[in-house]
A and B are shown apart, each in its own frame.
Chain A
């Protein structure tokens, strides 16, 4: 009975909601949603903190730092902060707030954590190379019909499907 509130929204309705948020983002700001950009800002500002000169001279970091601009005071960082709050509100309303390591019973906690870290690292790396993640490149890109969006989307889901068999233990 306690799982009564644990139900998720109808996927189509949730999709509609997400679509409306995305549309609002386009209408208000002219850009879609994103997430990996905010993570990059965190990394960039971290590197900048550690060694400003190094960041300044690096081809990669120097693109995102300039003297009058703080990488953390950016649109995407605030947006991702909002995601954190929005997710929390929704989780609280649906009674889904609890510290939990989600995994398949077939694998150990340790393995799940390593998988998460490796997966995260791959995703982080790929999102930089591909100029955006599922939300920034694929979802927002598809909404504006950008070729990059469709190509990235197909590459992500195609690869995931292709590799699914090898990692089935993790999830099933």
Chain B
């Protein structure tokens, strides 16, 4: 064996490694989060991002222009029932370019889903993605549907806050 072979082999190893490193450079299109989780956590603790149905109905009746209701359910559900004036952006497609530009405008967006959890998660996702002015409608479409009496009259009854205990806790503690 002569030396050139060894040099060649060394060169191949180097090239392979370099190639490996650089091929992995071409990653798919990534949406980087801008807001760090810890900052977001502080924000969640210190301020609310919920809008209760009462306030939402006031907004709607006064026809505030700066608010947009965003329905993140699928089109079928949207066609079935939706809050008047709401825009349908199905959550599956919320990261698509067309909607991203829509979500970028300065208006206050109120997200809702059937209940509030999915909307809340999507809101967190978008906030982490650098969007602001996002709120979540408590109770979601389900609550809205039950409590809407006529076009402009909204009767708030029952519980819309997901985090409110819906049963008597003393029943549980009494059994100890």
Direct contact of A and B (CB under 8 A): yes
Contact call A13/B10, Cβ cutoff below 8 A: yes
Contact call B10/A17, Cβ cutoff below 8 A: yes
- Any chain B CB within 8 A of the CB of A121? no
A146–chain B nearest beta-carbon distance, Å: 22
Given A5-B3, A93-B1, A20 and B9 contact (CB-CB distance below 8 Å)? no
For window 1-24 of A, CB contacts with B under 8 Å fall at 4-5, 7, 9, 13-14, 16-17, 20-21, 23-24
**Closest chain A residue to B17, Cβ basis:** A24
Report Cα–Cα, A28/B16, bound state, in Å. 13
- Any chain B CB within 8 A of the CB of A90? yes
- Any chain B CB within 8 A of the CB of A82? no
Contacts between the two chains (Cβ within 8 Å), count: 36
Contact residues in A for B21 (Cβ distance below 8 Å): 24, 27
Q: How many residues of B contact A (CB 8 A)?
A: 14
Contact call A23/B10, Cβ cutoff below 8 A: no
Interface of A is mostly: helix
Of A9, A17, A94, A95, which one neighbours B14 at CB under 8 angstroms?
Answer: A17
Contact call A95/B13, Cβ cutoff below 8 A: no
- Any chain A CB within 8 A of the CB of B38? no
Query: What are 20 A-B interface contacts by the 8 Å CB criterion?
Result: A4-B2, A9-B7, A13-B10, A17-B10, A17-B14, A20-B13, A20-B18, A21-B13, A21-B17, A23-B17, A24-B17, A24-B20, A27-B20, A27-B21, A90-B6, A92-B1, A93-B1, A93-B6, A93-B9, A95-B1
Interface residues of chain A, those whose CB is within 8 Å of chain B, are: 4-5, 7, 9, 13-14, 16-17, 20-21, 23-24, 27-28, 90, 92-95
